[in-house]
Structure 1
Amino acid sequence: MRSSHLCYPSPEEGIPEVREELKNRPWGLVTYRTAYGGHSDRQFLKLRELIHKMVLKFQESDDKRCPMGQADWPVVENKKLLSNVTTQVVREQFSKWASDRGVPSTEDGWKYQVGRFHYCLFADRRSLKSAETTFPIVGVLYKDWLPPWHPDKIGYGAKYVPGDWTPIEGNPDGDVGWFYSRVVSLDWLYDLMCVRGLYGKTPRLPCGRPPYVVHSPSKLRRWRGDKAEGHYRTPS
């Protein structure tokens, strides 16, 4: 029996040729490691093992709504290039990764409307620490996000009004272009990304402002491992 959270339309009602193409394409998200030193090698290995277990479990489940080919969850590790970088640097690297695989900047083709080319994962220090807890998490980053002060975001002639959240990488708004997800939630998140793309919708997902964690389709949980930024609005 299918899980109750899979409430979006069935791709059987979609475009047959698109579904036929997707079933032969690799599925999965690329992971960027941004934390190094200390016990991070061991922690990152553990995190990769947890993601691998999630992938195997999802492949065996009946919850998939989009056809999927061979699993491919590549990893990018480069201490010199990625150590402690901002999410914008990760976004730039991911954009290049997608471009190198033939994804056009407009991404208006059906075969590119899948989660693989819109989202990536990143393992920061908080994610690596969580790998050794009962609540492992990983960062999920949206490639096509624009900052709230971008002209295309605020519209012609409009003025940007800063939000009143504690800034994350200088962004005081609620939408920062990425979120934390439980590792065990990556399966339905990926499926939802692809289903939205299959129906011609932007594969944008509802998410919580870091360091809140996407726990289930309708639930957020607070990461309690540290007093991380971003929980509260600044005092008025």
Structure 2
Amino acid sequence: MEDALKTLEDTKSSLESATAGLRKEYHEIDEGLSNPALHSDAPWGFVVFRTRYGTNSDAPWARMLELLRSTVTSTLLYSKRTDLFPRHELTVVEDEATLAGADAHTVRHLFRAWTADDLTPRLRSPETYGGSAQVRAKLLSNDVHDQNHPVSCLPPRWNFCLFVDEDCLRSLDTFTKIVKIVTTNWHEARVATVAEGWEDGETDEDHEEVGWMYMDATDYVDMYDRLDSAFNWDGFYQRPPAGYIEQGN
């Protein structure tokens, strides 16, 4: 009996030693929180914009926010990453005057302005990019990102945002609860005629980049971890088809 117990203890000790150096799940979030370009108190988490207002929208909007928050809680509990709770911040932007009925282009423009205000004072060395004024100008611009763009290699909080419109609120009563995720690494190009069968875009190519896509709301933490730089978008991008909610997804 003693020999068996000793064997179990030895096995446990060996397993602990073997896994001691392994990175925890969601290690990209960890790396983002220790990004040397940012001051040490920078949070993680998406900014979410509300674009549906008016009659009967308050209750489903509250349900969507609760879903996003409970998703973070359940995901971190399941992955044993409750240490990430204190630094998480879901920032909610509501302004009926500027956001009611807004599309992805308008949300992107407003998110760029939010990023310019929020990120500029968080940078340890804005002079690297020519000073705070130059940083703000670049963040507000419609430029696509390169390696010298102030946010190109920063955490997703300042590269991608979420927005919730009528379609997203209606999805709460379907199998897949969705939000829309927008990238700032995209040159805005509004089109007069949208290709049949798709949301946005001029062609019927299923890989045409339109600057946003649908995202399962329960993928909040996983998507944040995957999009650890502006350039990871292409690896996960799926062009949004028309009638996605009506199709019963």
Same fold by TM-score, threshold 0.5 exceeded? yes
Matches within 5 A, 1:163-178: 166=197, 168-169=199-200, 171-172=202-203, 174-178=208-212
Secondary structure class of the residue paired with 2:90: coil
Extract unaligned runs of 5+ from structure 2. Answer: 1-22, 121-134, 140-147
Q: Which of 59, 84, 96 is the matching residue for 2:76?
A: 59
Q: What CA distance in whole angstroms lies between the structure 1 residues aligned with 2:56 and 2:32? A: 48
Point out the structure with max Rg over C-alpha: 2
- Residue 80 of structure 1 and its aligned partner are, at CA, apart by 1.5
Q: What CA distance in whole angstroms lies between the structure 1 residues aligned with 2:247 and 2:240? A: 12
Q: String of CA shifts for 1:77-115, please: whole Å, max 9, x gaps.
A: 111211112211100000000000134327645896110
Corresponding pairs, count: 193
- Residue 132 of structure 1 and its aligned partner are, at CA, apart by 2.9
Q: Which of 195, 199, 204 is the matching residue for 2:233?
A: 204
- Identical-pair percentage: 23
**TM-score (structure 2 length as normaliser):** 0.63
Extract unaligned runs of 5+ from structure 1. Answer: 1-5, 150-161, 213-221, 229-236
Q: String of CA shifts for 1:27-66, please: whole Å, max 9, x gaps.
A: 11111111122321111111101000111123324387xx
- Residue 125 of structure 1 and its aligned partner are, at CA, apart by 0.6
Are the counterparts in 1 of residues 47 and 91 from structure 2 also a CA contact under 8 Å? yes
Greater helix percent: which structure?
Answer: 2
For 2:164, the equivalent position in structure 1 comes to: 123
Q: What CA distance in whole angstroms lies between the structure 1 residues aligned with 2:98 and 2:89? A: 23
Corresponding position: 1:190 with 2:231: no
Q: What CA distance in whole angstroms lies between the structure 2 residues aligned with 1:27 and 1:9? A: 12
For 1:141, the equivalent position in structure 2 comes to: 182
**TM-score (structure 1 length as normaliser):** 0.66
When structure 1 is superposed on structure 2, of 126-135 and 85-94 the one drifting more is: 126-135
Secondary structure class of the residue paired with 1:204: helix
For 2:66, the equivalent position in structure 1 comes to: 49
For 2:18, the equivalent position in structure 1 comes to: none
CA 1:203–1:19 in 2, change beyond 3 Å: closer, same or farther?
Answer: farther
Q: What CA distance in whole angstroms lies between the structure 2 residues aligned with 1:183 and 1:16? A: 22
CA 1:82–1:17 in 2, change beyond 3 Å: closer, same or farther?
Answer: closer
CA 1:9–1:18 in 2, change beyond 3 Å: closer, same or farther?
Answer: same
Q: What CA distance in whole angstroms lies between the structure 1 residues aligned with 2:38 and 2:78? A: 21
When structure 1 is superposed on structure 2, of 134-143 and 55-64 the one drifting more is: 55-64
For 1:3, the equivalent position in structure 2 comes to: none
Are the counterparts in 2 of residues 26 and 68 from structure 1 also a CA contact under 8 Å? no
What root-mean-square deviation, in Å, do the aligned CA atoms of Structure 1 and Structure 2 show? 4.0
CA 1:83–1:15 in 2, change beyond 3 Å: closer, same or farther?
Answer: closer
Are the counterparts in 1 of residues 67 and 217 from structure 2 also a CA contact under 8 Å? yes
